[in-house]
């Protein structure tokens, strides 16, 4: 299975990120390209533990079904479907800003997975995840949004 912890997979993701520009249009969903890049930046900072102000706490519904959903999302290379909610902590309201700066930040954050070390990470829905699960899910999350914008 593809994981963001694999250097070749990270390079492929970065190549795809580099193909996006401020005029890229979504093929589905509500976010524009700026919001998507900023959403990934905020999400990655949370996972990586960089400048993170979002608590590591599993919500109630996640405690009921989170592990089951996580297992189904990380057991194979099946892509994430369209229409999955971003979560209130990762919804970006601002519609525009410094796109190139955000894109550069996303590339830098992607590279940080090469030295990942955040043992305190707890996903808000899935709960505590193994490093392997984090790597697979992070890759799928990137792939989902890059496909959303045609790359």
pLDDT in tens, 64-118: 999 999 999 999 999 998 877 778 899 999 999 999 999 999 999 999 999 999 9
Structure confidence at residue 83 (pLDDT):
78
Between the two ends of the chain, the Cα-to-Cα distance in Å is 20
Query: Can you list the domains of the chain with their CATH numbers?
Result: 7-148 (1.20.120)
- Dmax (CA) for the chain in angstroms is 41
Query: pTM of this prediction?
Result: 0.95
- Please return the burial class of 12, using the count of CB atoms within 10 Å of its CB with bins 0-12, 13-18 and 19+: middle
Q: What is the C-alpha separation between 123 and 84, in angstroms, rounded?
A: 15
CA 7-12-16 angle, to 5 degrees, is 145
Structure confidence at residue 54 (pLDDT):
93
Task: Identify the H or E element spanning 134.
Answer: helix 131-148
Q: What percent of the chain shows pLDDT beyond 70?
A: 100
Instruction: Judge whether 125 and 14 are in contact, CB under 8 Å.
Output: no
């Amino acid at each position: 299975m593809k994981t963001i912890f694999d250097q070749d997979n990270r390079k492929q993701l970065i190549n795809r990120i580099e193909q996006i520009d401020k005029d890229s249009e979504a093929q589905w969903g509500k976010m524009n390209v700026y919001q998507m890049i900023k959403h990934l930046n905020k999400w990655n900072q949370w996972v990586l533990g960089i400048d993170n102000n979002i608590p590591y706490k599993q919500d109630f519904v996640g405690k009921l079904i989170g592990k089951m959903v996580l297992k189904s999302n990380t057991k194979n290379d099946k892509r994430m479907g369209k229409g999955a909610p971003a979560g209130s902590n990762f919804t970006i309201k601002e519609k525009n800003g410094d796109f190139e700066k955000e894109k550069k930040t996303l590339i830098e954050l992607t590279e940080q997975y090469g030295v990942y070390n955040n043992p305190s990470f707890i996903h808000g829905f899935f709960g505590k995840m193994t490093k392997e699960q984090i790597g697979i899910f992070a890759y799928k999350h990137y792939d989902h949004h890059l496909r959303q914008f045609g790359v």
